[in-house]
């Protein structure tokens, strides 16, 4: 695959959803999916995944550790619509109903290398107090019709959210042929001759 | 303490010395002692003692003698004092006494007041006595002088002697003076105050102790009472311990108040104690215990001996060791009680707070408003009251009611702000916090940023160097002339410096040379046009320059002349007045020139000029001549014409002589000749000779004569000025005044005086030199810097003038900035009575007073304002970028371009134009900057566009030109995708590089764009249809685009899934549900969860079709050749329903072959080319009860709501009869094998558009199957006996029915209808009423549709009744059945139904239901239910029927519009899209709910219990059943109709119809053959011909089963064939639906090898291009 005139560039993402910090909740699991533009296509790897349920550790940090691996390769012709990872976290509420604990999204880092991202998470709010009460009572909190909504800007103005916690992700990015196609994502300062 | 002990030591030394000296001093000095001793403490003590002793032996005589003695002594003393400043100690003391004696009152004052007073007294004592006092004393005691002088001389000598002694020791005086100084300086220092305060007093006391001792010597203790002298002395010498003590006590108090329990206090106490000790010591010596408050009259000294004894005592005698004093607590308390006041906390009786005999009065009780007092605790209040009462005038703090006066409590009970309930959402909009960007205040702006920082040090240096008056009121006449001379000389110098004349002369010569060169260069050849032009230009330039030079030369000469003239005047004046005031002196230096050379030059110059002038004048003459010639020519031609005209006239006149020639002649000549042009005058020949004369005259006027020496004036100030003494009185006065006059300058920064110069007196030459530099550290932006010149004569100063100094640019720095001369003037009127000419006063130089002049004070101020430079060479100027507008005033002066009127630098063009027009001399140094600017501007680099760009640098960032960008395929693709163009909306993975994109990508799109203009007639057959289709396409596109935009408006439910709040009803239901059986016997369909269409993909959506059962499916007929008797009956509405069934029953009853399968029907569903079928059932009323699942895929994979709504696919539900044919291949095998061939025969179909299913979400019910009018080989089954009531009802209707349940899995949320409000032309009131009406309706009956306003095709809301208006149907239809109204009605309905149906929801996806008017409908020839219904209703109305529009719901359309007519006594419901009608009580009427009725006048909403037509009343007059829109309370405002007056129909075009017929037939034939790729398709021509004959008949009969006989006929004709086929009837819109319909019948699927087909098409045209298309298709199988 060493063509001089590549028609696509590849972005390989591997990493993990390391941990989360939800001070109030426990026993959470998360789902992830990727949102990307028209010009993007996954070539290999899992586009979606759901993690195990994890409980808080006994240590003081109170983190929820998933260490849920991500491994996906995208090909694309156009950096527009650069993939984003959407993470949604779920967990049981006081009555044992599975409710959403947070949505969050972040762009996959553009530059090759190792990156750590912490995503602030949020959940949609109920439209009224009564709704809030009933949704709490019935264990049916408001949710996004599609978690991918959080990766797009359109239509967000109608929603109202509350922030919930943080999820830490770690990415290792490898790109191929980007420079050949004229997309230089590494800044000049960072480029240093390998020693 | 050390110091004090030291001091004490010194004092003792001094005392000793004194005592020694005293021994020598004569009695004079000793006599002084008692006075001194009086002043000391000791004197007090002694005085008290004296007093006590005096008590023993008081005597008037004695006292008097003492007094006299004292007086004598005093006088003596005074004499001494007056004569001499006393040398040191003793004399000082003496002096003090005198001083104090004389200043008795003064001292008294100081005595009884404060310690300061005391100190000042002390100071006075030490200071040298005032001369005034001396004088006074000398005046009062002048008689004693003689005597005292002698004594004083003696005293002097003694004093000097003593001085010497003291100088050898340690002079106490120095010590004293030192102390005094300390006192002065340290007075207000608190560091060690007690020491300083204590020391001098201590010292003084010691001194006075000495004095006291001496005083004792002086015996005067005999006197009992204190004399006036004594009393006076006591008061005067206030060094008594009492005030001292008091003072120190006061100090202690204050200090203790400040810092409690400090050591210093102790120290002080100690000191005090020491003092006390000392005093006590002396008291001991005196042997007496005294209280502090001693009587003043007490004798000072008891006896002489004591005093002498003291002198002999050593230092130890004065010291006594004693334990420190302790004051007991009680004592202290007692003592403190005197000083301290502790307010009690008990209430103060009202009586003490009020003036006596006043009862407290309470304003509240009197009805006055008294505010609530602020709450104060009672104890605090009491304390306060007690405290106040203690003060004098404390009562004024109490009001009438005996309470402390207080303002009402300012704190309000409730908060004055509106409460802020911070709910999550609505905050009162008025209280919403509005974020505004911080505004920079105007004033803030003035501050220079960064001031206060270390760097932000800005400093302006204002250098005021001096002032020169060009006129001043104190000018003498000579000064005026001198100033003028100086001015002229300055002018001369500056002109000399510029040397314009020389410059211009050079230029002139240069130009002349150029012209000459050019002429020489082109002498041979003809001069080109350009060169000629240039030469002309140069000549012009030469002329101009010459004129300029001449004027300059003239000016030079005039200036020189006037200088000389003024000088002469000055000289004359000096001579006249006889003195010289000004130092001006003019020397005129002559520079000899070589006469010959000069003459030659001048001559050459003159000649050149003359030549030029000549040339010019000749040129001018030429021009004038040519002009003259031209005019002359004109004139001549005119003349000629005139003559010709006259001739012609004459001729004519001759020809028609008889006719009134006279009249004609006059008229014509006048008419045609017109105005006679003036004959031009020839210009005069220029006077060449005169020219030279003129030039010479001018030369001698403005130039020096040849050979005349060049005069160079030189002004010096060397002339001697006549000294004052030699001047006359007037001039002397003037000079005096001038000398008195002085000037100073105030510097005002931003209109605030910051500093002023020193006042400098005016010099004789009226120049003032200040030379002062003011450094202004500035914080504010400089706005103005002003210098005000003040003139002060004696102490009075007045503002002379004000000069504004421009604020320097930040680049103007101190050191480099040049000094500027700013002119000022003042219009003050000043007159003098001396030689000064004054200001604004006329004066004259001449003796006779003629030639009067008026001059105003004026002058020049030379100053310089610049930004300072810091230590490190950093300019202390604010950054210029910030200065902005403030600096503008300064900048404006610099901007050369602003001066010429062009606005700023951006208007280069105008500047260039101006430069070209004004012919700027590029060599002129003045123009250098502009020329440079122009060269830059015209260099092309900075071409300034003449338009405005918001982002003028945008172009710099464009890496491609727009055209290139347009050409890029990739970019285009990306752009189209983002624009959501249908073809590219879902384009995935646009290639990364250009070359990978083929042009083909755009082919479809471009074709479509092209098609937009082109009308493809081929596909649409009919041109008109094509146009309509195009139009519809466009409307659709625009609406879809609008919708796509709207799609991006999200609502919460699009994004967030949220549970609905359960209402009480729902909760109740849920509770009820708990009681329900788990598995009910009759399960109901449950509502499913709705799914928004956003996140769906292919395969997610399925269409569920539950086919339950069918009714009345036609049955097969056995092959008989028996002709069935056609039961034709006269059809009428009344009979149709019963007769058909009965006739059929009658017809087929006997033919029924027992045992044979009547029919084996199955249902096949086709949707999006997916075909599914049920199992085969048997019998005419089969029951399938099967669920078919059809996958659904949205076009382009777009599952958005809009796209789904736009899906135009239809679900075809076809009923087939499965026919098994035994195929007998071989007769022999008959027994063993059975070969059967399955054939399917189409019986009928239902088609339901997907959009209906989508919008309805489910379709549930029994539907009529559209069956062809004739089904060959089939007939309707008659009901086999009455099985029950249901069948009986069913049998009433004709046709086949199918019970279906259709839905989409998962349930999709249908798109919302209109979210936006449409604009309208209806009145607001009506709209409001509509809203209320509809709201009310939907609240009461949510399932009943109610329409009041609808959207017309322009997207405007229109009230619905405006659509109803009687409109005549085409005449042809009415004419068809002139006698039978019923037939005609049916025909009209059929006509309406033939207009193609096109659901709005498809074309105008989800936006709304558009209503078009009837004419639009007929033009478009497409519309949905409401258009059909409106048209039908209008037709019925015009036919005289009572008709209403029904707004209701029907199956399968959903919300729809039907038409209701009232026939005789019953109501008919018409389905406008099929043309069918139903009785009110028809079970199979598809109309399910009636929401409202509409006619031209009103809208009625159904408020009956039931909405089904069967169970309701149509009597709209009953308000119980129908709620009218327009009622009495809201009458019909008389709405005009939107419909046209009448409809214009296009004529029937039979030829076109025939053509279309052929085309359709051809297309269908091809299609059928295409559909049968593996089999040959044979066409039975005979059959086709027969079928073709049937079709017109079918059309005539309106498609009813009336062609039975023809069918039979056909069968008889084709007896050998098994024939199956049917006619299809369709309204014509496009050819595609016809093909679809034919395909869906599946006739072509017959695979029998020997099958033949017959196809006949008939198109019957109706007016306005409404076409009825019949397709008769049949398959024939030869049976034998």
| List of chain A residues whose C-beta atoms are within 8 Å of the C-beta of residue B1092 | 145
Contact B989/A126, CB-based, under 8 Å?
no
Three-class SS state of B746 = strand
By CA distance, what is A139's nearest residue in B?
B1059
Chosen for mutation from A48, A78, A88 (greatest number of chain B CBs closer than 10 Å) is: A78
> For B1572-1586, what is the mean pLDDT?
82
For residues B1565 and B1561, give the distance between their C-alpha atoms in angstroms, rounded to a whole number: 6
Which comes out higher in pLDDT, residue A88 or B664?
Answer: A88
Q: B1639: Cβ–Cβ under 8 A, 6 or more apart, which residues?
A: B1567, B1571
Closest chain B CA to residue A78? B992
Looking at residue A107, its pLDDT comes to 94
At B138, the pLDDT band (50, 70, 90 cuts) reads: very low
Could A76 and B986 be called an inter-chain contact, meaning their C-beta atoms sit closer than 8 Å? no
Residue B590 pLDDT exceeds 70 = yes
Structure tokens at B411: 């704190």
Distant-in-sequence, close-in-space partners of A190: CB < 8 Å, separation ≥ 6: A111
Chain A closest-CA separation from residue B987 CA (Å): 7
Give the predicted TM-score (pTM) of the model: 0.43
Instruction: State yes or no: ipTM above 0.95.
Output: no
- Residue B581 pLDDT exceeds 70: yes
SS3 B1151: coil
Q: Is the dihedral of CA B285, B289, B293, B296 positive or negative?
A: negative
Size of interface A-B (CB pairs under 8 A): 91
Q: What is the pLDDT of residue A11?
A: 92
Give chain A positions within 8 Å (CB) of B1048: 154-155
Question: Which pLDDT score, from 0 to 100, does residue A168 have?
Answer: 94
Q: What percent of chain B is helix, strand and coil (3-state, nearest 5)?
A: 50, 20, 35
- pLDDT tens-place string over residues B265-307: 444 455 444 554 544 455 545 444 444 444 445 555 455 444 5
Mean pLDDT calculated for residue range B1585-1596: 79
Contact B990 A5 (CB under 8 A): no
- Which residue from A minimizes the CA distance to B1061? A131
Q: What is the pLDDT of residues B703-744, one digit of tens each?
A: 766 667 777 788 777 777 777 777 777 778 888 887 788 888
In a mutational test of the B interface, the residue from A37, A131, A158 whose CB has the highest number of chain B CBs within 10 Å is: A158
Chain B environment of A126 (Cβ under 8 Å): 1058
Residue of higher predicted confidence among B65 and B1171 = B1171
The pLDDT confidence band at residue B579, using thresholds 50, 70 and 90, is: confident
Residue from the list A7, A128, A131 with its beta carbon closest to the beta carbon of B992: A7
Cα–Cα distance, B25 to B165 (Å, whole number): 13
Which residues does chain A have within 8 Å of residue B1094's beta carbon, measured at their own beta carbons? 145-146
Mean pLDDT score, B953-965: 75
| Average pLDDT over every residue of B573-594 | 78
In B, minimum Cα distance to A142 occurs at B1058
- Residues of chain A with Cβ-Cβ distance to B990 below 8 Å are 38-39, 77-78
Between B1050, B1061, B1095, which is nearest A154 by CB?
Answer: B1050
Tell me, what's the pLDDT at A181?
85
pLDDT 10s digits, B1187-1215: 888 888 777 666 766 667 667 677 888 88
Helix axes B131-140, B88-102, angle to 10 degrees: 70
Shortest Cα distance, chain B CAs vs residue A105, angstroms:
16
Per-residue pLDDT for B83 more than 90?
Answer: no
Nearest to B1240, CA basis, from B1583, B1618, B1641: B1641
Phi, psi angles (nearest 5°) of residue B528 = -70, 165
In a 13 Å sphere around the CA of B1084, the CA atoms on its Cβ side amount to 5
Count of other CB atoms within 10 angstroms of residue B1288: 11
- Hey, which residues does A171 pair with through a beta bridge? A15, A115
Helix (H, G, I), strand (E, B) or coil at B743: strand
Give me chain B's average pLDDT, please.
69
d(CA B447, CA B1573): 94
The structure tokens 């040519």 sit at: B626
Preceding peptide of B1088 cis, ω within 30°: no
Measured between beta carbons, the chain A residues lying within 8 angstroms of B993 are 5, 7, 181
**Contact assessment for residue A156 and residue A101, using Cβ atoms and an 8 Å cutoff:** no
Cα of A143 to nearest chain B Cα, Å: 5
Q: Which residues of B touch A76 (CB under 8 A)?
A: 989, 992
Chain B (404-433) residues lying within 8 Å, Cβ to Cβ, of chain A: 424
Q: Report the alpha-carbon distance of residue B1474 to residue B1306 in Å, rounded.
A: 32
Return the minimum-mean-pLDDT range out of B11-20, B294-303, B345-354, B480-489.
B294-303
| pLDDT attached to residue B1370 | 84
Helices first, then strands: H and E counts in chain B: 54, 40
B1050-1089 residues touching A, CB cutoff 8 A: 1050-1052, 1054-1059, 1061-1062
Q: In B1048-1109, which residue ranges form alpha helices assigned H by DSSP?
A: 1052-1055, 1064-1075
Residue A159 has its nearest CB partner, among B990, B1052, B1094, at: B1052
Shortest distance between the Cα of A51 and any Cα of chain B, in A, equals 22
- The reply to whether B1094 touches chain A by the CB within 8 Å rule is yes
Residue B974 contacts A where some CB pair is shorter than 8 Å: yes
pLDDT at B572 over 80: yes
Residue B624: per-residue pLDDT:
85
Report the distance separating Cα B1598 and Cα B358, nearest Å: 121
- Look at B778-787, B1047-1056, B1109-1118, B1425-1434 and tell me which has the smallest mean pLDDT: B1047-1056
Task: Name the residue among B424, B987, B1092 with its Cβ closest to that of A38.
Answer: B987
Between B883 and B1645, the more confident residue is B1645
pLDDT of A68: 93
Task: Name residues whose C-beta falls within 8 Å of residue B1409's C-beta, 6 or more positions apart in sequence.
Answer: B1350, B1351, B1400, B1401, B1424, B1426
Torsion angles phi and psi, residue B1329, rounded to 5: -60, -40
| Residues of B whose CB is below 8 A from A6 | 992
| Cα B1470 from chain centroid (whole Å) | 63
* Nearest-CB residue to B1055 (from A80, A134, A155): A155
Flag if B1050 and A78 touch (Cβ within 8 Å).
no
Output the pLDDT for position B229: 62
Question: Which of B984, B985, B1056 would best serve as a mutation to test chain A binding (most A beta carbons within 10 A)?
Answer: B1056
Say what the pLDDT of residue B1029 is: 67
Residues of B in contact with A7 (CB under 8 A): 991-993, 996
In this complex, do B1052 and A156 lie within 8 Å of one another by their Cβ atoms?
Answer: no
Does residue B180 have a pLDDT over 60?
no
Residue B1405 has pLDDT above 80, yes or no: no
pLDDT tens readout for residues B1013-1055: 555 555 445 566 666 667 766 766 766 666 666 667 777 777 7
Cross-chain residue pair B1059–A140, CB shorter than 8 Å: yes
For residues B121 and B646, which has the higher predicted lDDT (pLDDT)? B646
- Give the residue with greater pLDDT, B1401 vs B1469: B1469
- What would the pLDDT profile of B415-474 be if each residue is shown by its tens digit? 666 665 555 556 666 777 777 777 655 554 455 544 444 445 678 888 888 888 888 877
The gap between the terminal CA atoms of chain B, to the nearest Å, is: 161
A36, A79, A129, A142, best to mutate vs chain B, most B CBs in 10 Å:
A142
Phi-psi region of B972 (alpha: psi -120 to 50; beta: other; left: phi over 0): alpha
Query: For residue B198, is pLDDT > 50?
Result: no
Kindly identify which residue of chain B lies nearest to residue A81, measuring between CA atoms: B989
- Compute the distance between CA of residue B1410 and CA of residue B1400 in angstroms, rounded to an integer: 7
DSSP assignments along B424-490, one per residue: SSPPPGGGPPPP-PPPPPHHHHHBPTTBTBSSB-EEEEEEEEEEEEEE-TT--HHHHHHHHHHHHHH
Percent of chain B with pLDDT over 70: 58
Out of A128, A134, A159, closest to residue B1056 by CB: A159
Q: How confident is the model at residue A35 (pLDDT cuts 50, 70, 90)?
A: very high
> Are the Cβ atoms of A134 and B1061 closer than 8 angstroms?
yes
pLDDT in tens, B787-839: 888 888 777 778 888 888 888 777 777 777 777 888 888 777 777 777 677 77
Q: ∠ CA(B40), CA(B45), CA(B46), 5° rounding?
A: 95
Highest mean pLDDT among A144-158, B11-25, B41-55, B982-996: A144-158
3-class secondary structure per residue, B582-602: CCCEEEEEEECCCHHHHHHHH
| Sign, Cα dihedral of B166, B167, B170, B171 | positive
Cis previous bond, B459, omega within 30: no
Per-residue pLDDT, B214: 56
Contacts of B1050 in chain A (CB under 8 A): 154-155, 157-158
Pick from B977, B989, B1057: which is nearest to A41 by CB?
Answer: B989
Which residue in B has a C-alpha nearest to residue A135's C-alpha?
A: B1059
The predicted model gives B1251-1265 an average pLDDT of 76
Q: What is the token pair recorded at B1359?
A: 């009230």
Listed range (A80-94, A149-163, B157-171, B568-582) with the worst mean pLDDT: B157-171
For residues B792 and B756, the answer to whether their CB atoms sit within 8 Å is no
* Nearest residue of chain B to residue A7 (CA atoms): B992
The size of chain B, in residues, is 1680
Residue A153's closest chain B neighbor by CA? B1048
Specify the higher pLDDT residue, B485 or B138. Answer: B485
Question: Percent of chain B scored above 90 by pLDDT?
Answer: 0
Instruction: Mark yes or no for CB contact B1059/A135 under 8 Å.
Output: yes
Res. A88: pLDDT tops 90: yes
* Binary contact (B1055, A124; C-beta < 8 A): yes
DSSP B403: S
The region of weakest confidence among B367-381, B844-858, B1177-1191 is B844-858
Predicted confidence (pLDDT) at residue B617 exceeds the cutoff of 90: no
CB contact under 8 A, A124 and B1056: yes
Q: Which residue of A has its CA nearest to B1054?
A: A145
Q: Are B1056 and A142 in contact (CB < 8 Å)?
A: yes
- The residue that leads in pLDDT, B769 or B195, is B769
Highest mean pLDDT among A81-85, B316-320, B723-727, B1487-1491: A81-85
Q: Are B1479 and B1439 in contact (CB under 8 A)?
A: no
Give the chain A residue whose CA is nearest to the CA of B985. Answer: A38
Segment B39-54 shows an average pLDDT of 44
Closest by Cβ to A78, choosing from B992, B1051, B1062:
B992
């Amino acid at each position: 695959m060493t063509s001089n005139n590549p028609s696509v560039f590849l972005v390989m993402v591997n990493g993990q959803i390391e941990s989360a910090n939800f001070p109030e909740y426990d026993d959470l699991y998360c789902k992830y999916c990727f949102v990307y533009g028209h010009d993007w296509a996954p070539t290999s790897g899992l586009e979606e995944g759901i993690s195990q349920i994890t409980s808080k550790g006994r240590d003081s940090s109170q983190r929820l550790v998933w260490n849920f691996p991500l491994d996906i390769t995208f090909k694309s012709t156009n950096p527009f619509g650069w993939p984003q990872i959407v993470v949604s976290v779920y967990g049981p509420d006081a009555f044992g109903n599975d409710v959403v604990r947070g949505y969050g999204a972040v762009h996959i880092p553009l530059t090759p290398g190792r990156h750590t991202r912490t995503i602030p998470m949020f959940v949609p709010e109920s439209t009224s107090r009564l709704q809030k009460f009933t949704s709490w009572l019935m264990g049916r909190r408001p949710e996004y019709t599609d978690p991918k909504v959080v990766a797009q800007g359109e239509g967000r103005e109608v929603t109202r959210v509350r922030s919930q916690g943080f999820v830490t992700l770690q990415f290792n990015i490898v790109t191929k042929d980007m420079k050949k196609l004229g997309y230089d994502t590494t800044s000049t300062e960072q480029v240093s001759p390998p020693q | 303490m050390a110091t004090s002990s030291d001091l004490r030591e010194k004092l003792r030394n001094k005392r000793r010395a004194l005592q020694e000296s005293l021994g020598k001093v004569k009695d004079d000095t000793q006599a002084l002692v008692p006075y001194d001793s009086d002043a000391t403490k000791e004197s007090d003590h002694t005085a008290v003692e004296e007093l006590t002793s005096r008590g023993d032996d008081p005597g008037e005589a004695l006292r008097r003698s003492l007094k006299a003695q004292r007086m004598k002594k005093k006088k003596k003393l005074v004499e001494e004092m007056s004569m001499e400043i006393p040398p040191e100690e003793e004399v000082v003391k003496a002096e003090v006494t005198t001083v104090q004696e004389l200043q008795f009152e003064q001292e008294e004052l100081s005595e009884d007041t404060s310690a300061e007073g005391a100190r000042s007294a002390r100071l006075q004592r030490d200071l040298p006595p005032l001369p005034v006092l001396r004088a006074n004393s000398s005046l009062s005691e002048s008689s004693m002088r003689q005597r005292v002088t002698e004594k004083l001389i003696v005293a002097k000598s003694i004093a000097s002697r003593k001085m010497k002694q003291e100088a050898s020791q340690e002079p106490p005086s120095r010590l004293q003076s030192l102390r005094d100084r300390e006192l002065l300086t340290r007075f207000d220092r608190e560091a060690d105050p007690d020491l300083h305060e204590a020391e001098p007093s201590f010292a003084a006391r010691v001194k006075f102790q000495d004095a006291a001792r001496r005083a004792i010597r002086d015996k005067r203790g005999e006197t009992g009472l204190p004399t006036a002298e004594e009393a006076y002395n006591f008061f005067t010498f206030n060094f008594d311990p009492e005030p001292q003590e008091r003072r120190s006590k006061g100090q202690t108090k204050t200090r203790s108040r400040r810092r409690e329990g400090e050591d210093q206090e102790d120290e002080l106490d100690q000191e005090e104690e020491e003092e006390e000790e000392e005093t006590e010591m002396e008291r001991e010596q005196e042997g007496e215990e005294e209280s502090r408050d001693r009587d003043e009259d007490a004798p000072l000294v008891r006896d002489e001996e004591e005093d002498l004894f003291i002198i002999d005592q050593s230092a130890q005698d004065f010291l006594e060791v004693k334990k420190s004093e302790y004051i007991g607590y009680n004592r202290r308390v007692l003592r403190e009680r005197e000083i301290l006041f502790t307010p009690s906390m008990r209430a103060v009786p009202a009586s003490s707070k009020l003036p006596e005999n006043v009862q407290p009065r309470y304003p509240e009780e009197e009805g006055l408003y008294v505010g609530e007092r602020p709450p104060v605790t009672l104890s605090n209040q009491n304390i306060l009251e007690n405290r106040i009462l203690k003060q004098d005038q404390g009562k004024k703090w109490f009001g009438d009611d005996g309470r402390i006066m207080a303002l009402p409590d300012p704190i309000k009970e409730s908060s004055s702000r509106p409460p802020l309930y911070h709910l999550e959402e609505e905050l009162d909009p008025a209280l919403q916090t509005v974020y505004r960007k911080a505004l920079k205040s105007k004033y803030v702006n003035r501050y220079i940023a960064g001031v206060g920082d270390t760097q932000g040090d800005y400093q302006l240096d204002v250098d005021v160097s001096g002032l020169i008056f060009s006129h001043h009121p104190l000018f003498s006449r000579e000064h005026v002339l001198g100033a003028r001379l100086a001015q002229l000389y300055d002018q001369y110098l500056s002109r000399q410096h510029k040397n314009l004349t020389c410059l211009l002369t050079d230029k002139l010569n240069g130009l002349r040379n150029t012209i000459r060169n050019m002429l020489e260069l082109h002498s041979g050849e003809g001069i080109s046009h350009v060169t000629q032009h240039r030469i002309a230009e140069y000549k012009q330039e030469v002329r101009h320059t010459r004129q300029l030079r001449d004027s300059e030369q003239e000016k030079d000469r005039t200036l020189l002349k006037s200088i000389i003239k003024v000088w002469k005047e000055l000289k004359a004046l000096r001579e006249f007045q006889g003195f010289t005031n000004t130092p001006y002196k003019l020397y005129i230096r002559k520079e000899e020139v070589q006469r010959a050379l000069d003459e030659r030059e001048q001559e050459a110059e003159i000649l050149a000029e003359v030549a030029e002038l000549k040339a010019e004048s000749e040129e001018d003459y030429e021009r004038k001549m040519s002009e003259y010639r031209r005019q002359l020519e004109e004139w001549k031609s005119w003349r000629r014409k005139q003559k010709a005209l006259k001739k012609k006239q004459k001729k004519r006149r001759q020809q028609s002589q008889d006719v009134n020639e006279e009249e004609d002649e006059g008229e014509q000549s006048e008419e045609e000749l017109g105005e006679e042009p003036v004959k031009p005058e020839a210009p005069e020949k220029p006077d060449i000779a005169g020219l030279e004369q003129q030039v010479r005259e001018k030369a001698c006027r403005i130039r020096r004569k040849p050979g005349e020496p060049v005069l160079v004036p030189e002004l010096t100030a060397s002339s001697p000025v006549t000294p004052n003494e030699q001047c006359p009185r007037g001039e002397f006065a003037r000079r005096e005044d001038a000398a008195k006059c002085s000037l100073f300058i105030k510097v005002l920064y931003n209109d605030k005086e910051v500093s002023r110069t020193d006042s400098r007196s005016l010099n004789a030459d009226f120049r003032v030199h200040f030379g002062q530099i003011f450094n202004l550290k500035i914080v504010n932006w400089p706005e103005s810097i002003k210098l005000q010149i003040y003139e002060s004569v004696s102490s009075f100063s007045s503002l002379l003038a004000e000069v504004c100094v421009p604020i320097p640019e930040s680049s103007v720095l101190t050191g480099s900035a040049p000094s500027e001369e700013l002119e000022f003037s003042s219009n003050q009127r000043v007159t003098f009575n001396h030689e000064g000419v004054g200001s604004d006063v006329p004066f004259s130089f001449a003796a006779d007073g003629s030639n009067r002049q008026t001059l105003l004070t004026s002058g020049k101020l030379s100053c310089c304002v610049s930004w300072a430079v810091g230590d490190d060479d950093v300019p202390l100027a604010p950054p210029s970028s910030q200065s902005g507008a403030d600096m503008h005033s300064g900048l404006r002066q610099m901007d050369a371009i602003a001066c010429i009127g062009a606005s700023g630098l951006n208007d280069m063009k105008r500047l260039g134009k101006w430069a070209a027009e004004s012919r700027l001399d590029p060599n002129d140094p003045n123009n250098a900057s502009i020329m440079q600017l122009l060269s830059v501007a015209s260099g092309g680099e900075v071409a300034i566009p003449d338009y405005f760009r918001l982002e003028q640098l945008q172009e710099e960032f464009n890496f491609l030109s727009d055209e290139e960008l347009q050409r890029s395929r990739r970019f285009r693709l990306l752009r189209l995708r983002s624009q959501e163009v249908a073809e590219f909306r879902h384009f995935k993975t646009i290639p990364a590089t250009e070359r990978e994109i083929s042009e083909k990508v755009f082919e479809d799109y471009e074709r479509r764009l092209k098609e937009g203009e082109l009308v493809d007639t081929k596909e649409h057959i009919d041109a008109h249809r094509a146009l309509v289709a195009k139009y519809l396409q466009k409307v659709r596109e625009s609406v879809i685009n609008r919708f796509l935009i709207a799609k991006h408006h999200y609502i919460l439910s699009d994004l967030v899934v949220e549970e609905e709040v359960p209402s009480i009803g729902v909760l109740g239901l849920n509770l009820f549900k708990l009681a329900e059986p788990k598995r009910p016997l009759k399960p109901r369909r449950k509502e499913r969860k709705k799914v928004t269409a956003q996140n769906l993909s292919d395969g997610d959506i399925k269409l569920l079709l539950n086919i339950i059962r069918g009714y009345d499916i036609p049955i097969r007929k056995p092959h008989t050749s028996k002709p069935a008797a056609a039961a034709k009956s006269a059809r009428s509405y009344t009979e149709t329903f019963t007769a058909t069934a009965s006739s059929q029953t009658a017809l087929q009853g006997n033919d029924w072959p027992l045992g044979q399968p009547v029919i084996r029907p199955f249902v096949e569903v086709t949707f999006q080319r997916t075909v599914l079928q049920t199992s085969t059932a048997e019998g005419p009323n089969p029951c399938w009860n099967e669920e078919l699942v059809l996958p659904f895929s949205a076009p382009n994979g777009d599952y958005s709501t809009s796209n789904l709504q736009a899906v135009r696919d239809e679900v075809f539900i076809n009923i087939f009869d499965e026919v098994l044919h035994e195929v007998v291949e071989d007769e022999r095998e008959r027994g063993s094998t059975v070969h059967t061939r399955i054939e399917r025969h189409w019986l009928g179909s239902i088609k339901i558009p997907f959009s209906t299913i989508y919008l309805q979400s489910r379709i549930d019910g029994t539907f009529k199957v559209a069956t062809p009018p004739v089904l060959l080989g089939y007939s309707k089954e008659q009901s086999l006996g009455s099985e029950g009531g249901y069948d009986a009802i069913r049998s009433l209707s004709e046709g086949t029915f199918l019970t279906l349940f259709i839905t989409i899995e998962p349930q999709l949320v249908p798109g919302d209808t209109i979210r936006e409000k449409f604009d309208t032309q209806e009145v607001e009131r009506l709209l409001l009423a509509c809203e209320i009406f509809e709201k009310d309706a939907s609240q009461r009956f949510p399932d009943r549709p109610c329409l009041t306003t609808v959207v017309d095709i322009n997207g405007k809301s229109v009230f619905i009744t405006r659509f109803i208006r009687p409109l005549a149907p085409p005449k042809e239809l009415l004419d068809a059945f002139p006698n039978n109204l019923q037939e005609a009605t049916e025909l009209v309905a059929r006509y309406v139904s033939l207009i193609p149906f096109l659901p709005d929801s498809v074309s105008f996806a989800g936006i709304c239901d558009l209503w078009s008017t009837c004419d639009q409908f007929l033009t478009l020839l497409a519309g949905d239910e409401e258009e059909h219904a409106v048209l039908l209703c209008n037709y019925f109305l015009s036919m005289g029927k009572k008709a209403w529009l029904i707004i209701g719901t029907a199956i399968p359309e959903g919300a729809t519009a039907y038409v209701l007519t009232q026939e005789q006594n019953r109501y008919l419901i018409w389905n406008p899209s099929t043309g069918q009608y139903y009785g009110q009580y028809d079970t199979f009427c598809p109309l399910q709910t009636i929401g409202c009725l509409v006619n031209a006048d009103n809208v009625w909403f159904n408020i009956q219990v039931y909405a089904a037509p069967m169970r309701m009343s149509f009597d709209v007059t009953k308000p119980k059943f129908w709620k009218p829109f327009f009622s009495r309370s809201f009458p019909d405002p008389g709405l005009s109709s939107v419909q046209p007056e009448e409809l214009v129909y296009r004529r029937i075009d039979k030829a076109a119809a025939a053509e279309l017929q052929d085309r359709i037939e051809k297309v269908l034939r091809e299609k059928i053959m295409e559909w049968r790729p593996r089999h040959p398709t044979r066409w039975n021509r005979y059959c086709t011909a027969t079928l073709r004959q049937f079709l017109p008949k079918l059309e005539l009969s309106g498609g009813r089963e009336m062609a039975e006989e023809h069918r039979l006929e056909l069968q008889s004709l084709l007896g050998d064939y098994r024939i199956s086929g049917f006619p299809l009837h369709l309204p014509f819109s496009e050819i595609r639906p016809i093909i679809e319909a034919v395909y869906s019948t599946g006739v072509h699927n017959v695979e029998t090898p020997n099958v033949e087909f017959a196809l006949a098409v008939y198109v019957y045209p109706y007016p306005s291009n409404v076409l009825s298309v019949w397709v008769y298709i049949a398959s024939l199988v030869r049976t034998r």
